Amino acid sequence: MANWLKLIISLALPQLVGGLGAFFTFSSVKTWFPTLIKPGWNPPSWLFGPVWTLLYILMGIACFLIWKSDHPQKKAMLKLYTAQLVLNALWSPAFFGMQSPLLGLLVIIPLWVAIVLCIIQFRKASPLSSGLMVPYLLWVTFATALNTAILAMN
């Protein structure tokens, strides 16, 4: 497969996951989510869309760098990346779709672990790819803390 096609696919997949998440988030963010007690450090709702869009772009580039590499563990790395992408896709339906901070937490913790593993493994094939996943880890760390606080407060 040509690298340009790998790049397009790599960039499109996380954006599709984001779109799926938005589908589950859209109605709940206007109805259920405002009724929850949230910590004072909860960011404004408008911030989530731009942050996730940027993170999905960085994730896509990271995936592309692994996919185009000749590293012998490339397939395993891409499977790990896919696993974290699936967990990412499951968080919004769990938290917003099922309106359950507990289910959200049960999804986001293994997601955080999978991202850490991606960062560690990606470094073997592409230090840049590994580094591109760090902002995602930082945001998911923040989201995990926020999810935990919302669960504790409600």
* Domains in the chain, CATH or no CATH each: 3-33+46-153 (1.20.1260.100)
The CA R_g of the chain, rounded to the nearest whole Å, is 16
Q: Is 125 exposed, middle or buried (0-12, 13-18, 19+ CB in 10 A)?
A: buried
Task: Measure the CA–CA gap between 75 and 79, rounded to whole angstroms.
Answer: 6
Note down pLDDT in tens along the chain; length 154 residues.
Answer: 899 999 999 999 999 999 988 888 888 988 999 999 999 999 998 999 999 999 999 999 999 999 999 999 999 999 999 999 999 999 999 999 999 999 999 999 999 999 999 999 999 999 999 999 999 999 999 999 999 999 999 9
Flag whether the pTM goes above 0.85: yes
Task: Give CA–CA dist 82/114, Å, rounded.
Answer: 10
